[in-house]
Amino acid sequence: MRMADEQASARRPVAEVRKDFTETVNRAHYNATHTVVVRYEEPRAVIVDMAWYERACRALGEASRLGEPAAAES
């Protein structure tokens, strides 16, 4: 198992991530690989696994910004 500071990472262009989005999400989920999404060589976003995101929120003392699904109205 990787330590938190030894995360695998990859840099991928937006177009490549768009084309292989499922693969990118699966790499984050199953391999804990962080993907830095770049456009014109400039980092635009990072895709990380949920466990890492939740640890980061706790470490920052913040609630998850994902929110809960809306309740179905009756």
Name the pTM for this structure: 0.73
**pLDDT confidence of residue 69:** 59
Considering the chain, what is the average pLDDT of its residues?
A: 85
Q: Are strands 8-13 and 33-39 parallel, antiparallel or unpaired?
A: parallel
Phi, psi of 12 (to 5 degrees): -140, 140
Bridge partners (DSSP) of residue 38 are 13, 43
Any idea which of 2-11, 27-36, 37-46, 59-68 has the lowest mean pLDDT?
2-11
DSSP state of 72: P
Confidence of residue 74 (pLDDT cuts 50, 70, 90): low
pLDDT tens digits for 21-34?
A: 999 999 999 999 99
